[in-house]
Structure 1
Amino acid sequence: WDAETGKKLPFDPGTGVYTAGDFSPTRPVFWLGYKGGDVRQFDLKTGKSTRETYGAVSDVSQIDISPDGSALLFRSEPEIAGFATLVTPGQVVAVDPTGTHGTSAFPFSIDNAELSPDSSSLAMNDTGLKFKFAAVDPWTGKIKVATEEARTFAYSADGTRIAALDGDKGRVDVWDVRERKWLKAWTWTLDKNYGGLEGPTFHPNGDWLATFHHTDNDVLLWDWSTGKQILNLGKVEDSVRKAVFSKDGTRLFVMGLASLRVIDVPNAKTLWQVSTPKVHTFNGFTLSQDAKRIALNTGLDEPAIVFDAETGKELLRAESEAMCAMSPDGKSLLTAKGLHAWVWDIDTGKRITTLEHSGAIRDVEIFNGRFLTLDNVRGLNVWSSEGKRVATAVAMRDGTWLAYDEKGRYDSPTPSDVRGAYYTLEWEGGLEPIAMSQLKGQFYEPHLLGKALGIDKEPLRDVPDISGLRLYPDLTIKPEGEMAYSISAKERDEGGIGGVRVSINGKEVLKKSGSGFFKVDVKEFASYLLPEARLQQGEKNVLSVTVANEEGDLVGPPETVDLGVPANLQAPEVRLYALCIGVGDYAGTAGDLQAPPSDARAIAAALKETGERLLPGRVQVDVMATGGTETRPTRPNVLAWLTEVSKKATSSDIVFVFAAGHGLSRIGEASGYYLLTSEADPGEVTPVAAKTVTISGEELRTALAAIPAGKQVVVLDTCHSGAATSSLLGAGRSVSGEYQRAWEAIKDATGVWLLAGAASDQLSYESSNVEHGMLTYALLEAIDRASADGLRQTPSGELFLDVERWLGYASTRVESLKSEVGLGGVQRPEFKRSTRGESFDLGVMDAKRKGFLEL
């Protein structure tokens, strides 16, 4: 509006929900902020948007967590415009807080969704009309079953079956989740006055189902395998929104639009019921673990009510806004309204904790003694039992997620590239945005969300005071003649000058410490430059420099220079250099392993077979293994191989390193990744001995960085040394944070594709059923079976050993493979994609040679 004339000015805010706005103090523009983080600049004269930045955060409307904490779902609603017009589908982001599964995100127009008890399946209704019912793998998004007939569903208590109901037809189908097949289908007579069947609900025994609104509104309990009626549980006139059996099967709790009743199942009678005409709809209920208390969401602007489930006596009436959660022991209630959430003591009726929020609260949960709240500004908040916020998590639009705490620790599936997330540092020069990746060295905390939820027992590491961080220096790169550059760092914010790292094409070639000025002659590193024929479309030869402050706890963003392509640089033939290490026979009398030598030999055979088909005569595959005629995998031998390859490899070549055997994440006070070579005694690795019987992650990182080959792959299939198992595993399921930080450092410094797995002990690592480590077997399986799931198939039928597809297949296959062979301690492999460049091929598999590895 024109404030002087009262005239309405032209203004078009466009689509989206706007949440904040302000005028520029110096220019005729207006800024408007939207849900999800979009910001648009508008010209005040025209009212049109002239600039726009895109937010990174997904607008999450609901959270779901599995009973064991192995899966957390962020769900966003589909965007609807006009009358039922779907603009964009909703998004589901599946997160495993302990890292056993990888993160996945997939778009669905979800109306209702439920995780199976073991988190292996997600059943849903889809409002986008692709299907009325589907069950998908929450970790891949792949559809297991989909049908147009079923609209409502329920899992059996063990998660092995799904009952799906088409209420209009009265048809119930039962699906076997593991076998992926329909087992039975039954059609029931409908109550014509009501119009449709409702339910279904599984009885705890897994054999019976309850369905509602049969003839005369009867509730029937029946055997799904025979279709035989077990009991008529009486009548329910109200539309059923939720129904749950107690764990012993003696009680059935049924919630209608505005009614709640408790049915005594053995005696087929209603114990008590409550209804209210004041509320349009009830929104849900929560049972205590022993089913003696029930907490009811009574509706918008109405209180939450806790009842004695046996008598119907009201125990507590608490302020709420259509959401509440009760602790499994039935002693605590969590409610929310507006910007406030409250924790109530049900026995005393007193409010014991208030949780303040900066945005409107949308959902609440109680898990493992923690309080979970979802608000529309911060996202998911995890609170301790004392009411302290211990972590925050958000779903990102790119399908990833970010968790962080008040001290600056963070976790993400892409810790080196958390797009759209910044910490703002205030100093005398103003406000400085700091990307999360710049804090990685000190603040990256793998499994932070799992630790906040209390399911990963590995302690949080100490971090510097984030509010006391000093800025990194200003960095300047200037050309100093042909292929030479001067690099200068100027201190600011009293932060001093720390480590300077110089990389060419993503590979670290030079490190300086505390140096404010030096020169780099790129000609000395010419072997790292790629000829034009080897560059992908849009790719360049790049010099990249980063500098940290003196303390090393804050690193500046990279400054880059396009190096171009030297005119005389020719494209040599591509060669593949591979080293396959298998350490099974160690020094000492304990700790030997059976699988690693055969693992190394099998991987070598697979690479020779497929590599020669792609690069005939240009494949060098070397094996270092114990128990055979090959070179023994000692520390000097491994390092010598890496040094030799660094002298003859070119930037066009491919280097592949595979290692299987024992690993450690901590030796004395030192932490990281350590591969034990054959001289080691797995039970007696001291800090002094480590220098001669292990290869550290830092040494591996340095050696790989010295190899000019622009395409590098590292696979580490590790079995923890028994002496160190307790320090390596957090909750017995997830790979330790020390391992993950070390693997990230290797990837960042060398640009490698890295696949690393770990098992808790020898029994978890090796299986007589497959005669290989689980990760190795998954890699070999894709080749031996000529599988299009693990290899890239061309339209002509050729099967290429595409790095991303092959390693990605193995990283997900281990989880199902360990179940097939009955191993419980194998951890999900960590798959670290290269920070540079696209995927590439290592070889070609001939389908006629299927089975040549004889797995």
Structure 2
Amino acid sequence: MLWTLDGKIARDFINAHDGELHSVAFSPNGKFILTAGGYNSIKIWDLTGTEYREYLLQENTIKSATFSPACSNDSTGGHFILSTFYDGIVTFSNLDGRVLWQVGSASLARFDPQGKFIITDGPSGQIRVWDWKGKLQRAFPINGDEIDFLEVSKSGRLVFTFDSQKGARVLDLTTGKKMSYNWGGKPYKTVAFTPDEKYVLTGTRNYMAQLRDFAGKLLMNFAGKANAWNTIDLSPDGRLIAVDSRETAIWDLQAGKILDIRYPSDYPSPITFSPDGQWLLMRGGSIIEDSYSNRRRLLYNTRALLWNWRNDSLQILPEGMSKLITGVFSADGRFLLTCGAQDRVAYIWDRQSDKIEQLTWDGSEIPFHCPAEFSRDGKHLLLASSGYVTLFRSDGRQISKESPKPSEIAFSHDSQSFLSSGPSFGTLTRRFNQITLTERYDLYPSFGNITRFNLDGDTLARYTHENVFINTLAFSPDDQLVLAGCSDGIARLWAAKGTPLLEYKGHTSTVTWAKFFPDGQHILTASADQTIKIWDTHTGQERATLILLDSTDWVVTTPSGLFDASPGAMRLLYFVVGLEVIELEQLKERYYEPGLLAKVMGFSDEPLREVDGFDSVALYPVVRLQLDTQQNLLRIRLSPRDGGVGKVSVFINNKEIKEEANPLKFRGFQKIRDTAMTIDLTPFARYFLADSLNVITVRAYNEAGWLKSAPHSVEYRLPA
């Protein structure tokens, strides 16, 4: 697909190849698109989606392809194609599809961005440099294993490589110097050199980005979230949110921040608060000191444990309950149920008598996703297997079985009914163990169907929304409302009798978790878009969005633009209005609200400030630059927006040469500013570097003078 910058689909290249698409690229002039996919097919398209050419270059599956850059070897760029194939062949071909040369024993290839040469890997981890005619210029033995990743800096001087045996290296092609070090052995997905080529930013397959110098020293760590927010729970008093983000972190809604205590993990873990809110049931393992991340880390396994987050103490669950994928407490905290990951067995632990019983029933095995819930009165247990929802007494005796192919379940607060999402059903009654079971069989596909049953298996109500999957279910505290988190990014609310009431819209991906706050006035949702949102139950209005950058840094925002953030997150923030990126400091005074979350939730006596939303921000004009190198003139064009036209500042190599390039002028009795101006660069020749590329930068202000644009730059080299 071809997208515009505002997120709209401009062209859809349907069935571009017969098979998987492996690579896409723009031509240097931006007029053509290259796609590589299927078995061995390369296609060139224009921007209207019309196929221009197709090539079949090899008999093996193509891996990647790209256009040549604009350079001395190709004046306008895009006249040649560099391709790699899974059989270890690299080809260099023209636009007629003719292979000009090829090399073997290579699976990775890059053009030097300056267009001087081509770089490939080689046998035994070699780095090889070729000219455009296919002649080998130099070969650098790395003395390692097969290279898994290769990237070239913008100047073409440095090459980053990674292999599973030797780790990461940076090779200087001008000197042949190799800087070898092990950066943790994590497979790299992407790498970028900083513009000054002093540092390298790496992105790995463990949701981590890291900035390092060439000695391998870690300068900054950007830890991403490992998965969607479905490993989350709300404490019984509604004041704490526990979230697993590589570490289990606890968000204090009253304090409006993440507590300075956390438990390490390597993979997402199911987490559940105990009824008293002091313990978290979670998956654990062995803690080690990790020199790679300079912090304690959990060696992943499925062992279940209880973590007392108040005093940072641990209690390992008894043998037999160790393989945790799902766990729930009874309302009084006495009973604890866990479902295992490998043996697919459920256990009930009586914490008072320390007795453990294995749960057995007539039905299919427990699925990997194992919804389970105790009734509030402690008399019943609801468990979803891969075939049925089964109702047990708390002593483990099966008493009823409902709803084939369930996906989610929830008990009412009065313990007299429960919800099950799944197909719509016909009815079949049979006898089992002297108990009459009412089973339901599938009538039509299980999209958006929720059924409410009483404890005898009778249907009380149905809640339906077509063409969505139900990911999570909840009753309101008074049992008068039913909440569902859906696959289309919307949480939906029904009256208990089945009448649709509200839709909570704001997430950009599937809603994975949803729950009412204890007072019923707010709803908490989590999504695969990696945000957590708080909503007004009765109006459907979003109150706040919680963003967890890692287990330490966080951001809270409101729809009006108010925000609060941790000090670490504050350094990473900026505003976006439409497609405009605005520095944080320019709008911080207007929108920064310390203690925002506590004010939103009513834990603070301070009122929430009312501010104009982002749609009222008085934006600066659009800036367009044109450089006339023959006459040394810089032409500036301004297109006013709602903020009008203010002053214009001009810089050469970061030195301000004109603070006010667009002064106020009188037109009659009215003061105005021009929307077009020309700057003669000749008087500022002393600021230009004779032997380097110079950068001329312009920033434009809104009419009020309090908001300025991002820097707009053009490059300029003095004539010889």
Scaled by the length of structure 1, the TM-score of the pair is: 0.40
- Bigger fraction of residues in helix: 1
Structure having greater relative contact order (Cα 8 Å, sep ≥ 6): 1
TM superposition score normalised by structure 2? 0.46
